[in-house]
Amino acid sequence: MKIKTTQYYDEFIRYFNLALKQQELSNLGMVPHDKSGMNDPLMEHIQLYDVVERKYAGFSQIINDCFYGWTDKHPYWQHMQAGKIYPQREEVAKNWTSRQDVFGLEEWLYIFILHRVCGSAINYATKPSGYHNTILFDLYDCDTIEEMCEKVKYHPTPFYTSVGYQFPAFPKPPLPTQNEDSFVGMSSFKEPEYVYKRGGDYFLCEFAPRLARDMADYLRQGGKKDLRQLGQWMFDWNVANGLRQYKFQYAAVIADVADWYPEYINRESMFYYGTNAVECIGYLADPVDGKGKKSEPFLDAVMTKIYEDTGSLPYNAEDVACDFIRWIENYLRPGADYAHINMDTLWNSSSIKDHPYGRQKAMLDLGLVETFNGMTSFPSDDKILQSANVSVEEYKKMAAKL
């Protein structure tokens, strides 16, 4: 399919190279973000735009700790040896060190599934961002999936989060059944079976163990799988078991397999596109032959172009696209560790000055908003323009005159 790139594509390539450099310097390297020399205030002060590989993004950090433990195979071993880590990393990595000697493919697949359907432990308002409301802190002493399920059933605190990534529509737990024998007499009373209160717990204990084991069998048979081939298998498994497809969360699980078990996956194959990625890619190019911007052929054509120009594997580039659109919109999550940020002065270095969504300097300069400070949530989409009763077209004309 033929496409024609836009000014956003040129800016995407520039952003990719900046993020790649900051990944090497600050994410994996030892240079503090604010000393990384990006000449981009947003990237230097918000720890979100420093990655071009999913494995090093915030939503995967705790998986690195679990999988590698406190060993020199950990991608952040340099940080760990130097003591330049958050206490969460030290706790998880040290506790999980021995799990590689115990867990096989099935157990790690179960952990991937659990992590992703529970929200990936993400909270972009905190540092570190990938350790929020997760049960993974407490599963290190389990030897089997069944032992992990027992922890799920009786965990005393919440371990689901929708702060950064939503969890799926879990199946409704079955109602408890009455034991007829219990009415005959105490001598014939039987202990009632466990009653699930949350659909997530029900899924994790009654469905996910079977999914992990069936998935392991599938991966071991017939050679490497394309990312979408594995995805379709997972979606079909859910449907066959009376579940919704969980496309968003399972896409992340598929990427986990590519990152931690690449021997089973054709990592260069095409991936799926989340809502933010579809929005981003729509800015990067226009279709030449009339195909819609949300069509898979168009999205794949742009992703192929990105792969050719950057070498970024599609499943990684999809996540970069999500970060890029946040960067274009000057995204940061107010509160917590970023409460000190002056939202009226911290901007990206983008050359595109008339982007109509999110938080933009032009909106402030034009008086469409008095201040961005004090907002309890990020003004996503066209919230500012709607509040000012200004159309996108009007805004672009106004911004062009600044």
- Element (H or E) spanning 285, and its range? strand 285-287
Please report, in tens digits, the pLDDT of each residue of the chain (402 residues total): 899 999 999 999 999 999 999 999 999 999 999 999 999 999 999 999 999 999 999 999 999 999 999 999 999 999 999 999 999 999 999 999 999 899 999 999 999 999 999 999 988 778 888 999 999 999 999 999 999 999 999 999 889 987 766 789 999 998 876 554 444 444 444 445 789 999 999 999 999 999 999 999 999 999 999 999 999 999 999 999 999 999 999 999 999 999 999 999 999 999 999 999 999 999 999 999 878 999 999 999 999 999 999 999 999 999 999 999 999 999 998 776 788 899 999 999 999 999 999 999 999 999 999 999 998 889 999 999 999 999 999 999 999 999
Residue for token pair 């990719």:
16
For the record, the structure tokens of 115 come out as 């992590």
In this prediction the pTM is 0.93
pLDDT of residue 177: 65
- Other beta carbons within 10 Å of 261: 16
- Element (H or E) spanning 13, and its range? helix 7-22
111 half-sphere exposure, CB direction, 13 A CA radius: 29
* Amino acid sitting at position 93: A
Domain borders along the chain are: 3-177+192-266, 353-402
Residue 287 — φ and ψ, nearest 5°? -75, 140
Q: What is the end-to-end Cα distance of the chain in Å, rounded?
A: 38
CA-to-CA distance for 52 and 63, rounded, in angstroms?
17
CA-to-CA distance for 107 and 17, rounded, in angstroms?
36
DSSP letters for 207-272: THHHHHHHHHHHHHSSS-EEHHHHHHHHHHHHHHTT----HHHHHHHHHHHHHH-GGGEETTS---
pLDDT of residue 115: 97
* Amino acid sitting at position 296: E
Cα dist from 65 to 71, 75, 86, 132, whole Å: 9, 9, 12, 14
pLDDT of residue 294: 93
Is the separation of the CB atoms in 44 and 34 below 8 Å?
yes
pLDDT of residue 26: 98
